[in-house]
């Protein structure tokens, strides 16, 4: 036999050695045919004498040395670790409300401002002229009110005069009625005397003439009373019209005042003020620029950063488990020596972004020292649930077969038994064991060897 004959069974034994990997290395490692031949050649090219075969047989029969780990009863936390982005608590893009020229820019990038501080002042000559013209119009309308009031007073005096004329006419009519009554009485008496031939016919004619004269005078006076009463009605109508003119003039003044108030409001917009406490993060304006309402880029951008909002896109698989009030910690790679910032979930969007299939979760963090800058990237860990008194194993001690089913090598009296298990929460280093695997059960720790039921092992001291 050739002294350097290749031992084919050695190459075959390499396959299980390379395929049995723990849960922390769940990707199978396959060696190509050439690599397998090279390995087999390197280890298989050895003398093929009888002594060598006997030594190898003894080596194969020797128990494999293993380290054991035991199932622990512990508390695990189900978490979701996702990227996070810092946003200002409030952010406002300041644009002009009126057209004008920039007179002053009182704040610049990085300036800390208070709510109500004047940041930009504009020159708005058109509005200033409109204000002066409106003030003049108001003065004219107020004069119209005075004239209307005077007209109303005149109409009121005319009414009073007409009513006085009616009273005088009625008094005169009363006298005329008395005189007519006296004339009719005299006429009747004279007629009686004339019929008895005590008086001449001439006396009756005179009495009749006086009676008719008094009757005609009474009719004239009655017409005067009616005319005076008509004058009262006309005067009262004129008074009503004059009062309406006063009301209309006052309404015109009120409208003009409201228009002046609007001009004043627009003039106030010529001074752009800070809407809240914050810091100026952008400036796109310089003195002398002509700016227009709502046109172009914002003149300034202000952000409130004493508190910040941290937005975390949570994937669909975890979105249903996140609730307001859940604990969250955010670590920033720019501060490697600092502990993660602790907080709680403040708001949950409640819907998934259809393009990313993620849901935005927000947490508010204190930033009084200004350390967190909007746009900064971090890593957020959200606590979804806490599982108490559950069986756990290190992730490296759990194997997975080609179907993804989990199993462990249980060791009892240095004898291996392969046991399939159900796994739960996996935090990357520890995995929950949902199967009936009592606490204290010993299993083989990470090992590249594949074991079988009943195989003997040598347990190494911990």
Q: What's the CATH code of the domain at 280?
A: 2.40.50.100
Q: Locate 205 and state its tokens.
A: 């004619």
Count of structural domains within the chain:
3
Higher pLDDT, 4 or 388: 388
User: If you average pLDDT over every residue of the chain, what do you get?
Assistant: 83
Mean pLDDT lowest among 70-84, 208-222, 268-282, 322-336:
208-222
Let me know whether 149 and 174 are in one domain. yes
Q: Which of 404, 355, 317 is nearest to 79 (CA)?
A: 317
Residue 455 lies in a domain: no
Residue 291 CB contacts under 8 Å (≥ 6 apart), including other chains: 96, 99, 100, 101, 102, 122, 285, 299
Residue 335 lies in a domain: no
Let me know whether 109 and 180 are in one domain. no
Let me know whether 110 and 173 are in one domain. no
Q: Mean pLDDT over residues 425-436, rounded?
A: 85
Looking at residue 454, what is its pLDDT?
A: 93
Let me know whether 134 and 30 are in one domain. no
Looking at residue 230, what is its pLDDT?
A: 82
Looking at residue 174, what is its pLDDT?
A: 82
Let me know whether 156 and 43 are in one domain. no
Give the number of other CB atoms < 10 A from CB of residue 316.
Answer: 12
Residue 211 CB contacts under 8 Å (≥ 6 apart), including other chains: 180, 183, 184, 186, 187
Predicted confidence (pLDDT) at residue 36 exceeds the cutoff of 60: no
Which domain does 177 fall in, by range?
Answer: 127-268
- Residue 444's DSSP bridge partners are 68
> In a 10 Å sphere around its CB, with 0-12 CB exposed, 13-18 middle and 19+ buried, how is residue 393 labelled?
buried
Give the number of other CB atoms < 10 A from CB of residue 17.
Answer: 11
The confidence band for 60, taking pLDDT boundaries of 50, 70 and 90, is low
Predicted confidence (pLDDT) at residue 51 exceeds the cutoff of 60: no
Give the model confidence (pLDDT) of 278-327 as tens digits.
999 999 999 999 999 877 889 999 999 999 999 999 999 999 999 999 99
Residue 326 CB contacts under 8 Å (≥ 6 apart), including other chains: 344, 345, 382, 383, 384
Helices (H), 269-361: 316-319
Q: Which of 152-166, 225-239, 378-392 has the highest mean pLDDT?
A: 378-392
Residue 461 lies in a domain: no
Helices (H), 296-407: 316-319
Looking at residue 342, what is its pLDDT?
A: 95
The confidence band for 61, taking pLDDT boundaries of 50, 70 and 90, is low
The confidence band for 38, taking pLDDT boundaries of 50, 70 and 90, is very low
Let me know whether 217 and 170 are in one domain. yes
CA atoms of 72 and 429, how far apart (whole Å)? 13
């Amino acid at each position: 036999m050739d002294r350097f004959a290749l031992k084919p069974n050695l190459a075959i034994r390499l396959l299980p050695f390379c395929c049995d990997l723990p849960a922390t290395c769940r990707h199978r490692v396959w060696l190509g045919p050439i690599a397998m031949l090279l390995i087999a050649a390197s280890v298989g090219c050895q003398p093929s004498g009888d002594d060598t075969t006997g030594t190898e047989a003894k080596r194969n029969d020797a128990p494999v040395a293993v380290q054991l780990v035991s199932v622990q009863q512990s508390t695990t936390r189900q978490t979701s670790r996702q990227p996070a982005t810092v946003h200002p608590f409030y952010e406002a893009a300041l644009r002009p409300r009126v057209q004008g020229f920039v007179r002053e820019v009182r704040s610049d990038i990085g300036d800390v401002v208070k709510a109500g501080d004047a940041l930009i002042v504009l020159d708005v000559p058109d509005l200033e002229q409109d204000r002066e013209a409106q003030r003049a119009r108001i003065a004219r309308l107020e004069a119209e009110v005075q004239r209307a009031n005077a007209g109303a007073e005149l109409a009121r005096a005319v009414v009073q005069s007409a009513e006085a004329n009616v009273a005088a006419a009625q008094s005169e009519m009363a006298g005329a009625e008395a005189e007519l009554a006296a004339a009719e009485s005299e006429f009747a008496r004279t007629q009686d005397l004339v019929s008895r031939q005590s008086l001449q016919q001439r006396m009756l004619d005179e009495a009749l003439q006086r009676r008719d004269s008094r009757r005609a005078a009474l009719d004239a006076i009655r017409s005067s009373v009616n005319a005076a009463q008509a004058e009262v009605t006309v005067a009262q109508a004129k008074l009503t019209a004059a009062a309406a003119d006063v009301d209309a003039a006052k309404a015109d003044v009120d409208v003009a005042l409201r228009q002046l108030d609007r001009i004043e409001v627009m003039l106030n917009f010529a001074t752009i003020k800070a809407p809240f406490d914050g810091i100026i993060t952008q400036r796109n304006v310089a003195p002398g620029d002509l700016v227009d309402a709502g046109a172009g880029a914002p003149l300034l951008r202000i952000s409130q950063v004493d508190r910040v909002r941290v937005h975390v896109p949570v994937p669909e698989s975890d979105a249903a488990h996140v609730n307001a009030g859940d604990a969250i910690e955010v670590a920033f790679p720019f501060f490697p020596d600092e502990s993660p910032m602790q907080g709680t979930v403040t708001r949950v969007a409640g819907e998934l972004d259809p393009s990313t299939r993620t849901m935005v979760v927000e947490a508010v963090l204190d930033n009084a020292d200004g350390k967190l800058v909007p746009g900064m990237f971090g890593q957020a860990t959200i606590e979804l649930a806490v599982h108490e008194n559950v069986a756990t194993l290190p992730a490296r001690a759990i194997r997975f077969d080609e179907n993804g089913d989990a199993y462990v090598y249980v060791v009892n009296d240095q004898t291996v038994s392969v046991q399939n298990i159900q796994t739960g929460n996996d935090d990357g280093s520890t995995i929950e064991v949902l199967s009936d695997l009592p606490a204290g059960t010993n299993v083989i720790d990470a090992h590249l060897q594949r074991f079988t039921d009943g195989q003997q092992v040598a347990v190494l001291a911990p």
